[in-house]
Amino acid sequence: MYIGITSDLKKRVWEHKNKVVKGFTSEYGVDRLVYYDQTSDAREAILKEKQMKKWERAWKIRLIEEDNPEWNDLYFDII
């Protein structure tokens, strides 16, 4: 699972899908958007990202499955 913040979600997911960015996502083939949250406050986003990275995997899965139980790729909903 990958957690990150961006100011341009469509672009960032496209980069992951096309393996433009070297690193975790391209190495492990992480390219589906299964959850996202929006805020206009960058500091709030950074704080939430740091908190979520410390969460247990089960907590992250529960959060995803509350809104997206089938783990559909949400990228197609945002483009």
Model confidence, pTM: 0.87
pLDDT at 21: 82
Closest by CA to 28, choosing from 7, 1, 58, 66, is 1
| pLDDT surpassing 90 at residue 1 | no
DSSP character at residue 23: S
Summarize the confidence of residues 13-34 as an average pLDDT: 91
List pLDDT tens digits, range 28-76. Answer: 989 999 999 999 999 999 999 999 999 999 999 999 999 999 999 999 9
Judge whether 9 and 73 are in contact, CB under 8 Å: no
